[in-house]
Structure 1
Amino acid sequence: MPQPPAAATRPVTAAPRPPGQVSQQQSPARIGPYEVFQLLGEGGMGRVFLARSPGSRLVALKVIRPEYAEASNFRGRFRREAESARRVSGFFTPPVLDADADAPQPWLATAYVPAPSLHDVVRSFGVLPEPALRALGAGLAEALLAIHDTGIVHRDLKPGNVLVAEDGPRVIDFGISSAVDATQLTRTGAVMGTPGFMAPEQIVSSREAGPAADVFSLGCVLVFAATGRGPFGAGGTAEILYRAVHQQPQLDGVPQGLSPLIGSCLDKDPARRPPAASVLAALGAADPAALLTEGLREDLAR
Structure 2
Amino acid sequence: MEAQRRVGPYTLVRKLGEGGMGLVYLAEAPDGRRVAVKTMRPELAAREEFRRRFGKEAEAARRVARFCTAPVLDAGFDGGTAYLVTEYVEGPDLAAVVRQAPLTGANLEALAVGVATALAAIHQAGVVHRDLKPSNVLLSPVGPRVIDFGIAQLADTAGAPATVARSMGTPAYMSPEQAKGEPATPAGDIFSWGALVAYAGTGRPPFGTGGVAEVVYRVINHAPVLDGLDERIRPLVERALDKDPARRPTAQQLMDRMLGRAEVAVDTATRVVSDTWTPVVPQSPAPVMPLSPTPGTPSRPTPSPSTPLPPTPGMSPSPGLTGPPAAPRKRPWTPIAVGLLAAALGAAVTLAVVRPWEPPGNDAGTPAARSTLQAAGSTLSVQIDSLARQGGTVRLQWTVKNVGTENAPLAGKLGGGALDSTVSRVNLIPPGVGRPIYPAWKDKTCACTDLPMAPFPAGAQLRMYAIFEGVPQDADRVDVDLVLLGVIRNVAVSSS
**Aligned mate of 2:9, from 19, 33, 48:** 33
Q: Does 1:112 align with 2:88?
A: yes
Deviations 1:231-269 (A, max 9, x none): 101111111111001111111111112111101100111
**Paired residue secondary structure (1:37):** strand
Of 175, 183, 188, 2:157 maps to 183
One-letter identity of the residue aligned with 1:162:
V
Change in Cα spacing, 1:219 to 1:107, as seen in structure 2 (3 Å) is same
Give yes or no for the alignment of 1:140 onto 2:126.
no
Matched residue of 1:51: which SS?
strand
Q: 1:292 aligns with which of 278, 281, 284?
A: 278
Look up the match of 1:65: 41
Looking at structure 1, the residues matched to 2 and 228 of structure 2 have their Cα atoms a distance apart, in angstroms, of 42
- Distance apart, 1:100 and its partner CA: 0.5
The separation in 2 between residues aligned to 1:27 and 1:157, in whole angstroms, is 31
Counterpart amino acid of residue 292 in structure 1: T
Q: Hey, what's the Cα distance between the residues in 1 that align with 2:281 and 2:6?
A: 35
In structure 2, runs of 5+ residues without a counterpart are 261-271, 284-305, 310-496
Q: Which has the larger radius of gyration?
A: 2
Q: Structure 1 pair 93/52, CA: closer, same or farther in 2 (3 Å)?
A: same
Percent identical residues: 46
The answer to whether the Cα contact below 8 Å between 1:85 and 1:96 also exists between their aligned partners in 2 is yes
Q: Quick one: distance in 2 between partners of 1:257 and 1:46?
A: 39
**AA at the equivalent of 1:237:** V
Q: Does 1:164 align with 2:139?
A: yes
Task: Please say if residues 79 and 101 of structure 1, whose CA atoms lie closer than 8 Å, have aligned partners that are also in contact.
Answer: no
AA aligned to 2:74 is D
Residue 234 (1) aligns with residue 185 (2)? no
Q: What SS does structure 2 have at the residue aligned with 1:38? A: strand
Larger RCO, structures 1/2 (Cα 8 Å, 6+ apart): 1
Amino acid paired to 1:122: V
Counterparts in 2 of 1:131 and 1:111: CA distance versus 1, 3 Å? same
Match of 1:97 in 2: 73
Aligned to 1:213: 188
Distance 1:229 1:121 in 2: 13
Task: Report SS of the residue matched to 1:39.
Answer: strand
The reply on whether 1:224 has 2:238 as its aligned counterpart is: no
The two structures have a TM-score, normalised by structure 2, of 0.53
Contact 1:115 1:300 in 2 (8 A): no
* Partners of 2:308 and 2:142 in 1: CA distance: 11
TM-score w.r.t. length of structure 1:
0.85
Q: Deviations over 1:133-156 (max 9, x none)?
A: 210011111111111111111111
Aligned counterparts of 2:72 and 2:173: Cα–Cα separation in 1 = 24
**Does residue 83 of structure 2 align to residue 83 of structure 1?**
no
What SS is found at the alignment partner of 2:153? helix
Structure 1: any 5+ residue segments left out of the alignment? 1-24
Moved more, 158-167 or 128-137: 128-137
**1-structure distance, mates of 2:308, 2:252:** 30
How many residue pairs match? The answer is 274
Q: Distance in 1 between matches of 2:134 and 2:246?
A: 24
Q: Secondary structure at the match of 2:108?
A: helix
Answer whether contact 2:130 2:150 (CA < 8 A) is retained: no
1:262 has 2:237 as partner: yes
- Specify which structure has the higher proportion of strand: 2
User: Structure 1 pair 290/253, CA: closer, same or farther in 2 (3 Å)?
Assistant: farther
Counterpart-to-counterpart distance in 2, 1:300 and 1:53:
30
Change (3 A) 1:299 1:78: farther
The alpha-carbon deviation at position 294 of structure 1 amounts to 6.6
Equivalent-residue separation in structure 2 for 1:79 and 1:37 (angstroms): 25
Tell me the SS of whatever aligns to 2:73. strand
Residues 201 and 229 of structure 2 are in contact (CA less than 8 Å); yes or no, is this contact kept in structure 1? yes
The 1:88/1:98 distance shift into structure 2, 3 A limit, reads same
Matched residue, 2:471: none
Higher normalized helix content (fraction of residues): 1
